[in-house]
Every structure is written in structure tokens, then in C-alpha cells.
């Protein structure tokens, strides 16, 4: 059985690939946890840069070294070194201030919109929350990170494609939101048949190769569940916040709890729960019909110990043939007002008033 001292002995000499100093020198070994009954080792490592190919190499070195020493399974999380440590060890001649969304100096608030299963309206929530934040005067970007089931461009009525300027991709601006999606890089209705590592590289490109400019918020429409892309987001963005979307049905809420639990276990803050398709309100009688049941959102929020941010009823947007966007609600629409109130709550929770 491995001891904490033995794990330290293995990890201490491993170098931070950007600072060329050992983890011992940078104090990059943040946490070590051992589970004797399962012979499991869990470690948290701080590097100067995360979400890079170099991080993947360090990850492979650590996992292989610990398994060779006797660990049956290895859990590994990465976080960013503090700026004072990076400045202390930064190689001579390197820029003193790094730029980009993944740099420690970046002030953008990342919000991932997650769900436990498909079909709950997660992308609709992502699109309308992004548009509503822009209506509040915020600088907003939206990554359609549902790489297999991308739908954001169609939902927002986007017909243009990004252009390349120099070495950067310029995202498409729609309703004041800068948008990037896998849909822009494949032929129409062509399936994406990729393995996990390729998905991670594409997601990293969305962060590093797109000219986002200064953003207050970057929203990520995640694939449903807790698969490869969600895991990549959790590793690349250690300070990402999350909103969990569910329907009122108890089973949907039960499944959504997995996505919330994953966020909490990776130290991501869950801002709250949004219950979509909460009820149908008759335009004739005003009576509410709870066609998908009741209580799922409240139950999920209670389980995750977060607020229920809002309940969104069933009703389609009013379509405008001149400015067609099939899933975006006008600010005067009843549901558009609900989304605007949600945006105000998110701005308040993230201290960006």
C-alpha cells in the first residue's frame, strides 16, 4: 500500500513543463488522498498553465508512475498556480502578462449549462440566458460545446460562418452574443465521429484560437450527462460555475443530480437549478397544466443545496420572418421576461451588476 510519503517522493521531482521547475519547488502538489481499501490515490496538482497538451503529458507521467508504484486507480485534478508563484519562476524573456481565456489574469466568468439527460431544453436555456445577459449590457460569449449534438447556430438563426483573421477565428455575433460551434466546421447534418482526445483538442481550440476579446461571461452549452467533454471542461476551467437544467419530472431531476454531483466533486460552484417545461398555461383560460409532473426542480435544488433560479413554462417564441431565430424569445415575450429576470439573478450571484 502506498503511503503519502511515497507519493510525495514520486511526485516531487516531476517538472512543471512551463516553469521548468519541480513540483516540489513550485509547491505544485496541492492535495494527496489515499483510500486503503481500494488502493486508490487521488492527487491535485497546480501548474502554470492548464488545458494544454503539456498538461496531458504531465497527467500521463503521474498516473503511470503511481500505478507502477502499486496504485490500482489514480484520481487526478489540475488547478492553476497563483500568479505570484508563476512570476517568481517564469523563464527570463517570457511575457510578464499572459493573455487569453485560460490565463490566470483573465477576468471572464465561465458558466457551464449542464443536464443529466438530453431533451430537457438545456440548449434553449443556454441561448436565451446568453441573449438576456447581453440585453443587460454584458459582454457575452457562447460556446456550443455539445460537439455531437450542436444546435445553437440553428436555434439562434445564424446563417453566417466565422472568418479567420491572422491566426485567430472571429466568432459570429448574434443578438450581441459571440458564438462558436462545431456546426461551423462540418458540412450540414454530417455526423461527428470522434473519440475523446479529439473532442478535448477541439474544445481547447475554442478557448485558445478564437478572438473573443474582453468578455464578462462565457457560457458553455455542455453535452448532456457526464462524458468526455464535461470532464475536459472541468479540467480546463477550474473556476467554472454551473447551472443545472431539469424538467419537473422526478426521473429527470434524479438523473440531473449526477451532473450536479460531478460539478461539486470537481470544486465547481453550482449557481442553481433551472426547471424547464414546468407547466403549460392556457391562453384561453389561464389555467396551468403540469404536463411533465411537478416538483423535480425543487427536489434537485434541495438535494444540491442551491437555489431554484427559475421555472420556465412551455411556449414557443414568436417567430419573425425578417429576423428568424426559432428559439430566441423577444424581451417583451412572457418567457423572454422570465429569462431576463434569470440573467439579473446570475449577474447578482456572480457579483457583476
What distance in Å separates the CA atoms of residue 16 and residue 61, rounded to the nearest whole number? Answer: 12
241 and 337 assigned to the same domain:
yes
- pLDDT on residue 97: 44
What distance in Å separates the CA atoms of residue 86 and residue 140, rounded to the nearest whole number? Answer: 29
| C-alpha atoms less than 13 angstroms from C-alpha of 170 in its C-beta half-sphere | 8
How many folded domains does the chain comprise? 2
225 and 329 assigned to the same domain:
yes
What distance in Å separates the CA atoms of residue 45 and residue 216, rounded to the nearest whole number? Answer: 28
In the predicted model, what is the mean pLDDT of residues 75-95? 79
CB 51 within 8 A of CB 18: no
Closest CA to 78 of 103, 59, 53, 98: 59
Whether residue 94 lies inside any domain: the answer is: no
For residue 281, list its beta bridge partners.
Answer: 288
42 and 81 assigned to the same domain:
yes
289 and 225 assigned to the same domain:
yes
Whether residue 95 lies inside any domain: the answer is: no
Whether residue 218 lies inside any domain: the answer is: yes
- pLDDT on residue 193: 47
38 and 150 assigned to the same domain:
no
Q: Print the domain residue range for 69.
A: 4-89
171 and 225 assigned to the same domain:
yes
Q: pLDDT for 20-65, tens place per residue?
A: 999 999 999 999 999 877 788 999 999 988 766 678 788 889 999 9
47 and 135 assigned to the same domain:
no
Whether residue 247 lies inside any domain: the answer is: yes
79 and 113 assigned to the same domain:
no
Whether residue 102 lies inside any domain: the answer is: no
Report whether pLDDT(186) > 80. Answer: no
pTM of the model: 0.69
| Of the residues 55, 89, 123, the one at which a domain ends | 89
12 and 148 assigned to the same domain:
no
Kindly report the average pLDDT of the chain as a whole number: 84
Whether residue 103 lies inside any domain: the answer is: no
190 and 152 assigned to the same domain:
yes
What distance in Å separates the CA atoms of residue 340 and residue 349, rounded to the nearest whole number? Answer: 14
In the predicted model, what is the mean pLDDT of residues 14-18? 91
Report whether pLDDT(211) > 60. Answer: yes
Whether residue 324 lies inside any domain: the answer is: yes
Q: What is the CATH number of the domain that holds 244?
A: 3.40.50.300
| Of the residues 89, 123, 140, the one at which a domain ends | 89
For residue 241, the 8-state DSSP code is: E
66 and 189 assigned to the same domain:
no
Cβ count near 299 (within 10 Å)? 20
| Of the residues 89, 118, 151, the one at which a domain ends | 89
Q: Which of 101-105, 231-235, 309-313 has the lowest mean pLDDT?
A: 231-235
Q: pLDDT for 131-184, tens place per residue?
A: 999 999 999 999 998 877 788 999 999 988 888 887 788 999 999 999 998 888
51 and 194 assigned to the same domain:
no
In the predicted model, what is the mean pLDDT of residues 216-244? 77
Q: What is the CATH number of the domain that holds 49?
A: 3.30.300.130
Whether residue 183 lies inside any domain: the answer is: yes
Phi-psi sector, 113: left (phi>0), alpha (psi -120 to 50), beta: beta
- pLDDT on residue 267: 66
Amino acid at each position: 500500500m502506498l503511503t503519502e510519503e511515497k507519493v510525495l517522493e514520486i511526485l516531487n521531482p516531476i517538472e512543471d513543463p512551463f516553469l521548468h521547475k519541480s513540483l516540489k519547488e513550485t509547491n505544485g502538489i496541492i492535495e494527496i488522498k489515499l483510500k486503503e481499501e481500494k488502493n486508490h490515490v487521488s492527487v491535485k496538482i497546480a501548474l502554470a498553465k492548464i488545458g494544454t497538451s503539456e498538461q496531458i503529458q504531465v497527467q500521463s507521467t503521474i498516473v503511470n508512475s503511481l500505478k507502477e508504484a502499486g496504485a490500482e486507480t489514480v484520481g487526478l485534478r489540475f488547478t492553476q498556480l497563483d500568479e505570484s508563484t508563476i512570476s517568481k519562476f517564469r523563464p527570463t524573456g517570457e511575457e510578464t502578462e499572459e493573455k487569453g481565456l485560460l490565463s490566470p489574469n483573465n477576468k471572464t466568468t465561465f458558466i457551464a449549462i449542464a443536464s443529466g439527460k438530453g431533451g430537457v431544453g438545456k440548449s434553449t436555456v443556454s441561448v436565451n440566458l446568453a441573449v438576456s445577459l447581453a440585453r443587460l449590457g454584458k459582454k457575452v460569449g457562447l460556446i456550443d460545446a455539445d460537439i455531437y449534438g450542436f444546435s445553437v447556430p440553428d436555434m439562434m438563426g445564424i446563417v453566417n460562418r466565422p472568418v479567420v483573421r491572422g491566426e485567430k477565428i472571429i466568432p459570429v455575433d448574434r443578438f450581441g452574443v459571440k458564438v462558436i460551434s462545431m456546426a461551423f466546421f462540418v458540412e450540414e447534418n454530417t455526423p461527428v465521429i470522434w473519440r475523446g482526445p479529439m473532442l478535448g483538442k477541439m474544445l481547447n481550440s475554442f478557448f485558445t484560437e478564437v478572438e473573443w476579446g474582453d468578455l464578462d461571461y462565457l457560457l458553455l452549452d455542455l453535452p448532456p450527462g457526464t462524458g468526455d467533454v464535461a470532464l475536459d471542461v472541468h479540467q480546463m476551467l477550474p473556476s467554472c460555475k454551473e447551472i443545472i437544467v431539469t424538467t419537473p419530472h422526478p426521473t429527470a431531476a434524479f438523473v440531473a443530480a449526477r451532473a450536479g454531483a460531478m460539478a461539486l466533486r470537481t470544486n465547481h460552484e453550482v449557481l442553481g437549478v433551472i426547471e424547464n417545461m414546468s407547466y403549460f398555461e392556457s391562453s384561453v383560460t389561464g389555467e396551468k397544466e403540469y404536463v411533465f409532473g411537478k416538483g423535480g426542480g425543487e427536489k434537485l435544488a434541495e438535494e444540491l443545496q442551491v437555489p431554484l433560479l427559475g421555472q420556465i413554462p412551455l411556449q414557443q417564441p414568436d417567430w419573425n420572418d425578417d429576423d428568424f431565430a426559432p428559439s430566441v424569445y423577444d424581451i417583451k415575450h412572457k418567457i423572454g421576461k422570465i429569462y431576463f429576470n434569470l440573467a439579473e439573478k446570475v449577474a447578482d450571484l456572480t457579483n457583476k451588476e
